[in-house]
A and B are shown apart, each in its own frame.
Chain A
Amino acid sequence: MINESAVFWSRVLTEVTLSFHIIYATIGVGIPLMIMIAQWVGYKNNDEHYILLARRWTRGFVITVAVGVVTGTAIGLQLSLLWPNFMELAGQVIALPLFMETFAFFFEAIFLGIYLYTWDRFDSQKKHMLLLIPVAIGASMSAVFITIVNSFMNAPQGFEILDGELVNIQPLIAMFNPAMPTKVAHVLVTAYMTSAFILASITAVRFLKGSDHIYHKKAMYLLMKLGLIFSIASALIGDFSGKYLAEYQPEKLAAAEWHFETEKGAPLTLFGVLDGEEIKYKITVPYALSILAHSNPNAEVIGLNEFPEDEIPPLYIHYLFNIMVFIGMLMVLVSLVYLMAKSRRWAFIKTKWFNWVVVLGGPLSIIAIEAGWWLAEVGRQPWILRGLMRTEQGATTSDNVDLMLVLFCILYLVLGIGSIIVLRRMFRSNPIEKEIADRESEKGGIAR
């Protein structure tokens, strides 16, 4: 017995919760690494500015962690509340990484607490820096484990079904499924990339406001370097993901590319608008899809027409794919141009318009993250477990899901606005110039 409206509202509520959570979760995965790098550079070069960078990022980070933790708790429980039938089955096969994620999370929470409250306690900054290693590892590992759960939903394996019963369950085989390597790697590097560009975007706002402090210049240079490395890595791993899809989930790739007929030497469709059967305003790159899918311009790519109509994902995911790829490429370009200009002393990177581009880079990266997740998730519809369990079979049968959706939407609105207000207030009342002056007077023994 399936409750149609509960299925629909469960999907909407899950989507809203996850879309809100991943903003904070992405920051939560990437920023600890940035803090660790800043602290390390500061310690190595004995440069107070980088240490301060780490300190100020950490302070802001706490606010985003708080929202990440509470929305993460929400999605954790919502999985069982909204998808009880799915969780009953998944619990038997994929509980291991879910369980390991809580340990990673525990680990991060403990050391973040210690790091935050021992700022001036140790004699050497090295001891303090060591505390950041478990924070960064915990943050990244929780992303690894939870992405493993998600990749299992795309490529379920590690069990057999005999007369409706699950038999021969192998938790490790379920974890190391074919979707796992590309998914985990892509999630990690895009989180690092997004965090670097968000911090760069905040720094660029300082420049636009007229600050010319050396602290911001150091921050920008460091972040652009990191941003370039991680955005190139994202693009590379994105390409591997395309190859994975061609091999294991061809219907997702075909829907994302509007590739209908199976053919050799398949062209890649960029942009375009779907009008009935016809694609208007498209840009076609010959052979590119075959190269993307199989690294071979003449390789055959499976088209959508090979699949039964009720097993293909919605075609709008093509737009999501375009948004994600376009933003990714743009950010590679922006950071590359910045670094070239920096080494050749081109002055245009100091202009207003270039700083505006960098300011936009942060929010754009977040949009790319959202688009990427929507592409990945909508792209496996109609399945909750690809090839095994359809989404409506996994959903709850209880009523009131629509009412809960309203309550959670209000909650997320409050959390979103609250976190922005608090963050702005925090840094406005304590600009870097003031903090440096305060620390110097502290060192002089005037105030302690």
Chain B
Amino acid sequence: MNLEILGISVLWIFLFGYVIVASIDFGAGFFNAYSLLTNRSHILTEIIKRYLSPVWEVTNVFLVFFFVGIVGFFPQTAFYYGTVLLVPVSISLILLAVRGSYYAFESYGSTGHKGYAFAYGVAGLLIPASLSVVLTISEGGFIEIVNGKPVLDYWKLYTNPLSWSIVLLSIAAVLYISAVFLTWYAWKAKDKKASDLMRRYALIWAAPLIITAVGIVIEMRGHNEEHYERMVSLWPMFGLSGILFLLTVWFIWRKRNYGLSVILLILQFALAFFSYGASHYPYLLYPYLTIHDGFTNEEMAIALVIAFIAGLCLLLPSIYLLFRLFLFNKDYVTGERNDHA
């Protein structure tokens, strides 16, 4: 395995980490707002707060890690993506800032305000939608090189069905992942009401998820045939991911094995996410930038890999400690412990 593949794999793993933790976070915000609107907040708010409080900061770091890492390993991405993404990414940034700070303001400083909670929930759905534009652009066809500078064709982007399918998929995935996770978390907290409510949401969002996912594969055929063919050649992976999805829904439907469901859910998304990533190979931005010509010099690559391994030696035990103290601590999850500052 050469350094390019190692680099992109590491970054893809962290992006996957972000997709999972951020989905739980964003979905939780939306469900919280929705339950406020339907006067069911007493069921969900406590559970959501207990999960989010110790981890909201860590979620953000996964994203920072990804975008700093990609500029480090693939500096040319800064030139292409940096130039064209000014508007969409700036909007994501503003939404992220509103959300991140609002959560802290709300939980440490003030009492609930319905309007804010609503804005918080909506921002959570708009962020994945605005970030997923990057995925659409990477498929090619939206950027033209004018005078040696990349220029993004917004009209083409916003009128293309592929863009909207990816947006819909990201929203459905956020809500589904979050609902399945919170079903399990609430069940672990012995909060049957919250668990039942989240179970219902999980089942509701399962259908749009699978419809949009299949739809994208079909649209890809017309948009980027090369990519479509590589995806088809990986069909066993996508098929397996589909089976895992069906199993998860089955367990949730039968109100069994919620813990296992979460594991299956993560495996399902991991398979689909990494197969999609593999089928994208070798392009970072079709057709201008491959991972081979965008790669940094060898000296920097080696330095980054060493820094990464050293960093991981610090990070993994710390994350384990965080999980042991909160996610896997029975007294904390059930609300019997409340040791906050």
Provide the main secondary structure of the chain A interface: helix
Q: B54 and A119: CB pair below 8 A?
A: no
CB contact list, A397-423 vs B, under 8 A: 397-398, 400-401, 403-404, 407-408, 411, 414-415, 418-419, 421-423
CB contact list, A107-157 vs B, under 8 A: 107, 109-114, 116-121, 134
The stretch that binds B, out of A72-80, A196-204, A314-322, is: A72-80
Q: A99 and B307: CB pair below 8 A?
A: yes
Q: A113 and B54: CB pair below 8 A?
A: yes
* Interfacial chain A residues near B296, Cβ < 8 Å: 91-92, 95
Total interface residues on B, using CB and 8 Å? 72
Q: B340 and A116: CB pair below 8 A?
A: yes
* Interfacial chain A residues near B322, Cβ < 8 Å: 110, 113-114
Q: Closest residue to B104 on the A side, CB-wise?
A: A66
A113-B101 in contact given A81-B82, A88-B78, A121-B337 (Cβ < 8 Å): no
Bound together, the chains give a CA A55 to CA B104 distance in angstroms of 16
* Interfacial chain A residues near B32, Cβ < 8 Å: none
Bound together, the chains give a CA A426 to CA B332 distance in angstroms of 24
A67 interface contact, C-beta 8 A: yes
Provide the main secondary structure of the chain B interface: helix
B314 interface contact, C-beta 8 A: yes
Total interface residues on A, using CB and 8 Å? 79
The stretch that binds B, out of A164-172, A250-258, A327-335, A341-349, is: A164-172
CB distance from B255 to the nearest CB of A (A): 31
Q: A66 and B82: CB pair below 8 A?
A: no
* Interfacial chain B residues near A87, Cβ < 8 Å: 71, 75, 78-79, 82
* Interfacial chain A residues near B341, Cβ < 8 Å: 55, 58-59, 62, 116-117, 119
CB distance from B144 to the nearest CB of A (A): 13
Bound together, the chains give a CA A90 to CA B76 distance in angstroms of 10
A100 interface contact, C-beta 8 A: yes
Contact of A65 among B57, B68, B79, B84 (CB under 8 A): B57
Contact of A114 among B73, B74, B321 (CB under 8 A): B321
Contact of B315 among A103, A170, A396 (CB under 8 A): A103
Q: Closest residue to B71 on the A side, CB-wise?
A: A91
Contact of A74 among B73, B84, B97 (CB under 8 A): B97
Q: Closest residue to A426 on the B side, CB-wise?
A: B109
Q: Closest residue to A400 on the B side, CB-wise?
A: B87
Q: Closest residue to A86 on the B side, CB-wise?
A: B78
Q: B303 and A172: CB pair below 8 A?
A: yes
Q: B97 and A73: CB pair below 8 A?
A: yes
Binding site for A on B (CB under 8 A): 53-55, 57-58, 60-61, 63-65, 67-69, 71-76, 78-87, 89-91, 93-94, 96-98, 100-105, 108-110, 147-149, 151, 296-297, 299-300, 303-304, 307-308, 311, 314-315, 318-319, 321-322, 325-326, 332, 337, 339-341
